[in-house]
Structures are given as structure tokens and as C-alpha cells.
Amino acid sequence: AQRVTQPEKLLSVFKGAPVELKCNYSYSGSPELFWYVQYSRQRLQLLLRHISRESIKGFTADLNKGETSFHLKKPFAQEEDSAMYYCALSPISGGYNKLIFGAGTRLAVHP
Amino acid sequence: DGGITQSPKYLFRKEGQNVTLSCEQNLNHDAMYWYRQDPGQGLRLIYYSQIVNDFQKGDIAEGYSVSREKKESFPLTVTSAQKNPTAFYLCASTTGAATNEKLFFGSGTQLSVL
């Protein structure tokens, strides 16, 4: 079954500390993976996708097919990073963008 | 101001009543989606539409219906058959149906049962 697991509901860190939001997936093929973010009182929006191999707002995520993981990392957390983060998987079969979302992790960065 | 507009922001449903959630976009996107968000469960796909006059069931379509008569509009009806409708509903759109397309989301509708 296709599934995305985010094991932490809440991750609490201090400003300047490294951050790693965990994401594991279950999918038999080669998936496309994304991180979406929702800041307070804002809409859910794309943060980054693995296919772009980009760094957005200091965040990076590497697809590890061996461990079926797509963890989101940032070396030095900022208070403005506090938000809800969702990992999502797009099954390639069928050709439709039917994202499967994880349950989300709330990141709280304290001063 | 381009984007996706969902209305109303809050909606209350009485027992046995059908209610319709509106989703309009002016992004000229072909594909539109409805997700349901429950606490601690992430987002689950209800229905999606790749093109006008076509739509497909998602993972939790029972108790819901949609229409796609116009490219800009993708309303969701929560019918009386949906026994647990209380949730936050999100509409989204993309330029096409390719699997790596970025989703643009609306601000959501919170539906509660009276």
C-alpha cells in the first residue's frame, strides 16, 4: 500500500539548532516526493520537491531509496520556520497528480 | 489577485442536509482537487478533475459529489450519506495532471455538524 509516515507530531527546537523532520514512505515504484508547509494563517504551499534538488529557505531533502526516506533538514533553525510541515508522495502510475500526504509535523522554533 | 478562492470559510450542516462547498480559481489551471483534512491524519483525496466535464473518485469519495462544468469551478457537495462530515476541506489546482506539478491550495472551509 502507498503510505507516507511522519513519525513526529511535534518537533520543538531552539533557534540556531539543527532541524530534521522525518518522512518515510511506502511505494513499490520510483516515487516523486514533496514537502509542503503551512505557516500560521497562510495557505498550504509547496516548500520543495526532490526532483528539483533545490534548497528553499535553507531547507534540503534527499531521497534515500534504500531507506525509503525523504527527511527534511536545515542546519540552523529560525523562528520563522515554525509551521506545519507535510511530506507528500506522488505515485507515478496513472499519470495523475494524486498526492498522498503524511499526517504532518508541527515544528516549533523557540527563541 | 490570482489564486484559488474557497467559500464559505465556515459552514454548518444539519442532520440529513446536503451542503455545497465552493472552489473557484482564476489561474487557468486544468486540474482541480478536493482534500479532506482531519486532525492527526493529514490530507486525504476526495475527488479530482483533470479537465472540464471529467472527474474521478479519490480515496474517500463516498458521501461526496462534485461537478466540473466550468474550468474555473469545482464545487463539492457533502451529502447526507456522509456520516462524519466534520472536517477541514481544502481545494487545490495544478496546471496539468503531471505527477510532479506543484499544487496551489485554497484557504479551506471548516465544515461542522449541528
Q: Which residues contact A41 (CB under 8 A, 6 or more apart)?
A: none
> Nearest CB to A103: which of B42, B97, B107?
B42
Cell of A83: 509551521
**Minimum Cα–Cα distance from B97: chain A residue:** A96
Instruction: Calculate the CA dihedral of residues A29, A35, A41, A42 and round it to 10 degrees.
Output: -90
**B residues 63-92 lying closer than 8 A (beta carbon) to A:** 90
Phi-psi region of A95 (alpha: psi -120 to 50; beta: other; left: phi over 0): left
Rounded average pLDDT over A55-70: 91
**Mutation target among A5, A35, A39, A44 for the B interface, most CBs of B within 10 A:** A44
Please determine, for residue A85, whether its predicted confidence score (pLDDT) is greater than 90: yes
Summary mean pLDDT of chain B: 91
Rounded average pLDDT over B54-83: 95
Task: Say if strands A105-110 and A10-14 run parallel, antiparallel, or are unpaired.
Answer: parallel
Summary mean pLDDT of chain A: 90
Cβ A98–B41 below 8 Å, yes or no? no
In degrees, rounded to 5, the angle at the alpha carbon of residue A34 between the alpha carbons of residues A30 and A36 is 160
DSSP A81: G
Task: Say if strands A24-26 and A32-38 run parallel, antiparallel, or are unpaired.
Answer: unpaired
Q: How high is the pLDDT of residue B99?
A: 61
Rounded average pLDDT over B15-19: 90
Rounded average pLDDT over B66-92: 95
State the Cα–Cα distance between residues A33 and A110, nearest whole angstrom. 28
Neighbours of B86 (CB within 10 A): 12
pLDDT greater at residue B48 or residue A96:
B48
Cβ B102–A46 below 8 Å, yes or no? yes
Contact B46, B76 (CB under 8 A): yes
Residue B48's pLDDT band (cuts 50, 70, 90): very high
Q: How high is the pLDDT of residue B60?
A: 94
Please determine, for residue A92, whether its predicted confidence score (pLDDT) is greater than 80: no
Please determine, for residue A82, whether its predicted confidence score (pLDDT) is greater than 80: yes
Please determine, for residue A96, whether its predicted confidence score (pLDDT) is greater than 70: no
Q: How high is the pLDDT of residue A65?
A: 87
Cell of B58: 479519490
Q: How high is the pLDDT of residue A76?
A: 97
Residue A11's pLDDT band (cuts 50, 70, 90): very high
| Cis bond before residue B8 (omega within 30° of 0) | yes
Please determine, for residue A46, whether its predicted confidence score (pLDDT) is greater than 60: yes
Q: In DSSP terms, which residues pair with B65 in a beta bridge?
A: B77
Cell of B1: 489577485
Rounded average pLDDT over A10-37: 93
Cβ A98–B42 below 8 Å, yes or no? no
Rounded average pLDDT over B43-47: 93
Report the range of poorest mean pLDDT among A50-54, B12-16, B97-101.
B97-101
pLDDT tens digits, one per residue of B98-114: 666 788 999 999 999 88
Q: Containing H/E element for B44?
A: strand B42-51
